[in-house]
Amino acid sequence: MGTQRTQVAIVGAGPSGLLLGHLLHNAGIDNLIIERQSGDYVLGRVRAGVLEQTTVDLLDEAGVGARMHREGLFHDGYDLTFGGARHRIDLHGLTGGKRVMVYGQTEITRDLMDARAAVGRPTVYEATDVAPHDFDRDAPTVTWRKDGAVHEVRCDFIAGCDGFHGVSRTSVPEGGVTTYEKVYPFGWLGLLSDTPPVSHELIYSNHERGFALCSMRSMTRSRYYVQCPLEDKVEDWSDAMFWDELRRRLDPATAATLVTGPSIEKSIAPLRSFVAEPMRFGRMFLAGDAAHIVPPTGAKGLNLAASDVRYLSRALIEFYAQKSSAGIDAYSARCLARIWKAERFSWWFTSLMHKFPETGAIGRKLQQAELDYLVQSRAASTVMAENYVGLPF
């Protein structure tokens, strides 16, 4: 077995693992990332699109924000459509000047991969049978197989940044983790197209046929979603069927201006609310989707991952620089306080905007009443806006 040594072993090279690795590198802390997939596969996943200011700030702190500021789009608000009309939520005006950045997760991942390669930090891609060991002691290790050989890295800490289906959380002994989960009775069918967005800001639609979302990656690349049955398969949906359904779920004036084109990506994502407690197990920490999942309605998934990485990087830097474990000891509670507020907002926004057949006609009437109240009450709109732009640390 080939054995190497590092200070922090990171499992997973998604946004959480890459951002943590770069923040630690900048602080002079040695780290190795071990990833199950290839770099191209990781880059091929189309996911989040909206960044909170605190996430933008953290990417700037890591020194990887240049292209984001060149190509990203700051948005001061978004529209809600229901009952055939559009209503703007003025994020900037309701939150004292805050806004969000539209910049795709794929691009963030690319920027982080490029930055890591530029400083020569090692990432092991296409590793199989990755496994964390002895994280309840002072000398944890991570093992994996690659090129027919077993490899081991000895480390001080393990960061489980391996997403919802990763190995870190499930390596915690039985009874060590408490999970909370709610699975929604529908999915999101997403389509990416090189067409101009239907609007300069996002549009969230509550329609009797189901939810729809008009988003973007740039002013020439659009990202759209429609709520779909859980049993649907992406091959059930031709591009034409998608465009027709999206038009039906938008207000007529917007539908009339929709520019359609061939899909360059189409996928169905299930929706769930999920939290694992705690997020620290001796010398192993969970960060990002490894510890929590939100329905994407509130655009919180990637931002929560960045929030965890902000806390964890500061805690590890404090440990090595000041030999203090205060940040490490507080990590889980600090993250969970923020995570649960984002879980609540994501659940509330999902419950407000989607079609739930099981709640019947009265469920729809109650949604309509809440939406009417929301767009007429400055107080209610402010609550929505301050959660959407991200709560302060």
Binding to ligand PHB by residue 215, rule CB under 6 A?
yes
Distance of alpha carbon 153 from alpha carbon 175, whole angstroms: 27
Helices 378-388 and 360-376: angle between axes, nearest 10 degrees: 100
Are the CB atoms for 171 and 16 separated by under 8 Å?
no
**Could you confirm whether 296 is annotated as catalytic?**
yes
Among 72, 160, 210, 288, binds ligand FAS (CB under 6 A): 288
Binding to ligand FAS by residue 354, rule CB under 6 A?
no
**Nearest-approach distance from CB 381 to ligand PHB, in angstroms:** 17
Work out what residue 163 binds among ligand PHB, ligand FAS, none; the CB cut-off runs from 5 to 8 Å by kind. ligand FAS
Binding to ligand FAS by residue 245, rule CB under 6 A?
no
Q: Pick the closer one to ligand FAS by CB: 56 or 375.
A: 56
Among 297, 313, 350, 381, binds ligand PHB (CB under 6 A): 297
Token couple for 172:
């915690």
Among 8, 9, 10, 14, binds ligand FAS (CB under 6 A): 14
Exposed/middle/buried for residue 99 (C-beta within 10 Å: 0-12, 13-18, 19+): middle
Binding to ligand FAS by residue 313, rule CB under 6 A?
no
Work out what residue 288 binds among ligand PHB, ligand FAS, none; the CB cut-off runs from 5 to 8 Å by kind. ligand FAS
- Per CB under 6 A, which of residues 29..58 are in contact with ligand PHB? 48-50
Cβ-proximal residues to 230 (8 Å cutoff; 6+ apart), any chain: 185, 186, 187, 270
Among 58, 115, 294, 299, binds ligand PHB (CB under 6 A): 299
**Binding region for ligand PHB (CB under 6 A):** 48-50, 202, 215, 223, 296-299
Among all residues, which ones are annotated catalytic?
Answer: 75, 204, 296, 300, 388
**Binding region for ligand FAS (CB under 6 A):** 11-17, 34-37, 42, 47-49, 105, 130, 161-163, 165-167, 269, 288-289, 296, 299-302, 305
